[in-house]
């Protein structure tokens, strides 16, 4: 075997080790991020329960219906697979209340921010 052949084999082996190491590192980062994501979802659910106990305007079915309506209006051609409540911002009074939903699907993600008005929940923005 020639010297050039040995050098090419060594370079290929090093690249293969780096590629495998990159995949392992990415998988570990995803695993570490998953509990963080789950914790935030649990916090949002607890905040919703607390807000609903103190104020009857925080009905989850009404919130989800408003978020779905907003997505249908702002992104009519986009089909999302999951709609998750990620943030409950319950401030004193009604006019400062916000609810953030994250819709995800094949076309990416969209954050739907709902603001509470005297008449109910209304779309503030879709990001």
Interval 81-103: pLDDT, tens: 998 888 888 787 777 889 899 89
Q: Which residue has the higher pLDDT, 34 or 119?
A: 119
For the chain, how many structural domains are there in total?
A: 1
How would residue 57 be classed by pLDDT, with cut points 50, 70 and 90? confident
- Cβ partners under 8 Å of residue 121, min gap 6: 62, 63, 66, 99, 114, 115
- Cβ partners under 8 Å of residue 80, min gap 6: 71, 103, 104, 105, 107, 110
Interval 4-44: pLDDT, tens: 888 999 999 999 999 998 888 877 776 666 667 777 777 88
* The model's pTM: 0.62
User: 61 is in which domain, residue-wise?
Assistant: 3-126
């Amino acid at each position: 075997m020639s010297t050039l052949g040995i050098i090419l084999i060594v370079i290929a082996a090093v690249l293969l080790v780096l590629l495998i190491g990159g995949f392992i590192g990415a998988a570990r980062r995803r695993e570490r991020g998953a509990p963080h994501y789950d914790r935030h979802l649990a916090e949002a659910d607890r905040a919703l329960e607390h807000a609903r106990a103190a104020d009857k305007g925080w009905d989850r079915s009404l919130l989800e219906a408003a978020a779905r309506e907003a997505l249908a209006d702002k992104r009519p051609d986009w089909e999302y697979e999951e709609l998750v409540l990620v943030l409950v911002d319950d401030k004193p009074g009604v006019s400062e209340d916000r609810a953030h939903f994250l819709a995800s699907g094949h076309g990416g993600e969209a954050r739907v921010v709902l603001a509470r008005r005297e008449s109910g929940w209304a779309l503030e923005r879709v990001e």
